[in-house]
Amino acid sequence: MQYIVICFFAGLADGKARYKETLVTSLVPLLTYFLFMIIFRTKATMKQVVALSMGTFGLLFYSIKKVS
């Protein structure tokens, strides 16, 4: 979790804060989901994997488009 915060503030110095902010926004739900999978010992269904992947790639492509 500390790495995410460091990347977020490093992005402010770069001037590309939007890209780093999008990474934080998309990684926190993923980390939370994986943490709960470990705690409750559940397996991800294909539908969940596809949904998480689509959301993450959508945010990343939107961020790259805005920065360019």
- Lowest mean pLDDT across 26-30, 57-61, 62-66: 62-66
Cβ-Cβ contacts under 8 Å for 7 (sequence gap 6 or more): 20, 23, 24
Q: What pLDDT is recorded for position 34? A: 86
Query: In the chain, what percentage of residues exceed pLDDT 70?
Result: 56
Does the model's pTM come out above 0.85? no
CB 21, CB 62: distance < 8 Å: no
Q: Which domain holds residue 10?
A: 2-67
Tally of domains in the chain: 1
**SS3 category, 15:** coil
pLDDT at 41 over 90: yes
CB 16, CB 6: distance < 8 Å: no
Q: What pLDDT is recorded for position 27? A: 76
